[in-house]
Structure 1
């Protein structure tokens, strides 16, 4: 699976570290921060996480209680802007000129 290849994990480390830092500061999980980011982007965006685990479903619901600041949303957006598209996202290499 491409998301578990060393290259994909390495490409995402800075983003994952930012998400973990935000989660730690809010006593939340990285999944909750990710869902909160999506919820905070636009009022009509409704993330639909999938799980078969009742505990994870309850955890995901906790994201609705997290209101990120505009600066936090921007930090995540900026981090995403600098993550190269990997095979996880079916991305292609971007050549810088």
Structure 2
């Protein structure tokens, strides 16, 4: 059965091709419709590469956003997405980093 998956993807910036010790990173949550989690992962990996891009910053340096991988993949257990549908959740204890 085809269903929906949420995938959290990690991207990392490089400036002029030089990785930084503390690079700027982005997590992006996307929806993917697929037959199973393996198919969803394949789609997500392809999408991640497609989303890589580069541009010149105000200093004239080239900033490149590189797909680093999938952080999390969740089966939404839904065949249809409707208003209010949960697309991502994360359990944590109060006081953990990031909260």
Q: Does the pair score TM above 0.5?
A: no
Structure number having the greater strand percentage: 2
Using CA pairs below 8 Å that are at least 6 residues apart, which structure has the higher relative contact order?
2
Name the one with the larger helix percent.
Answer: 1
State the structure with more CA Rg: 2
Instruction: Report TM bin, short chain.
Output: under 0.3
